[in-house]
Amino acid sequence: MKILIVEDEVALADALSEILKRNKYAVDAVYDGEDGLDYALTGIYDCILLDIMLPKRSGLDVLREIRKQHISTPVLLLTARSDTEDKITGLDSGADDYLTKPFVSGELLARVRSLTRRRGEVVTDAFTFGDVALNKSTFSLSREENCVKLSLKEYQIMEMLIANPRQLIPKERFLEKIWGYDSDAEYNNVEVYISFLRKKLTALGSSVTIRTARGIGYFLESGKS
């Protein structure tokens, strides 16, 4: 899953990024409202952590605009304010939840898990396609008694494929979701990890294959055809 942090306190934004990355989230961080709006409008994020007090454009302005543009990404407001009216304003503007600074990392992670569950993310430890199972807690891919470990990016790519079975996923989508909106990664980065995953599926003796739509992207199939 991919998280956007919009927070003008750079040290706090970096600390939040580190906490989320340690818990297997992909993270982008920006430090003002204008950049926050530009990133949020891409629609590639699973959750947005949004500070209310931001330079250039307030968090509430950002929130209202993304909702106006029909971006339904869950938004967790971060605020140093404890006044009830501010919280009400944020929720009425389209926020899904709020967290008052200072907060502990455990509560932050619990709120993020709750918001992404509400959006319909898969929350079981393992999910399947064809004859393979992908396990979130162990970062492994298995078939019957055989199991192989996956790197973080291998896991993220396989998760996207299994979550969208038989649907073509463009290479651009993998780059945006896994490497980041402004990453310098290129299409061959995706191709390399797809190659790794194909070898691991072969090693498992799986009938699941990753098909290529030349010049476009990839999709999963189950069966030898």
Domain containing residue 199: CATH number: 1.10.10.10
Q: Which domain holds residue 216?
A: 126-222
Query: Is 6 found in the same domain as 112?
Result: yes
Instruction: Output the pLDDT for position 141.
Output: 93
As a whole number of angstroms, the distance between CA 150 and CA 194 comes to 12
Query: Is 149 found in the same domain as 47?
Result: no
Closest to 161 (Cα-Cα) out of 208, 117, 218: 218
Which is more confidently placed, 219 or 183?
219
As a whole number of angstroms, the distance between CA 42 and CA 57 comes to 18
Query: Is 169 found in the same domain as 70?
Result: no
Whether pTM > 0.75 for this model: the answer is no
Ramachandran angles phi, psi of 150, nearest 5°: -115, 145
Instruction: Output the pLDDT for position 88.
Output: 79
As a whole number of angstroms, the distance between CA 83 and CA 20 comes to 27
Query: Is 218 found in the same domain as 199?
Result: yes
pLDDT tens per residue, range 147-158? 999 988 899 899
Domain containing residue 77: CATH number: 3.40.50.2300
Q: How far apart are the first and last CA of the chain?
A: 31
Number of domains in the chain: 2
pLDDT tens per residue, range 192-216? 999 999 999 999 999 999 999 988 9
Query: Is 68 found in the same domain as 96?
Result: yes
Q: Which of 90, 118, 146 is at the close of a domain?
A: 118
Query: Is 161 found in the same domain as 91?
Result: no
Residue 18: its H or E element: helix 10-22
CA atoms 62, 67, 69, 72: torsion sign: positive
Q: Which of 102, 118, 134 is at the close of a domain?
A: 118
SS (H, E, C) 100-114: ECCCCHHHHHHHHHH
Q: Are 46 and 116 in contact (CB under 8 A)?
A: yes
Amino acid of residue 206: S
Q: Which of 118, 148, 174 is at the close of a domain?
A: 118
Query: Is 207 found in the same domain as 164?
Result: yes
Query: Is 42 found in the same domain as 147?
Result: no
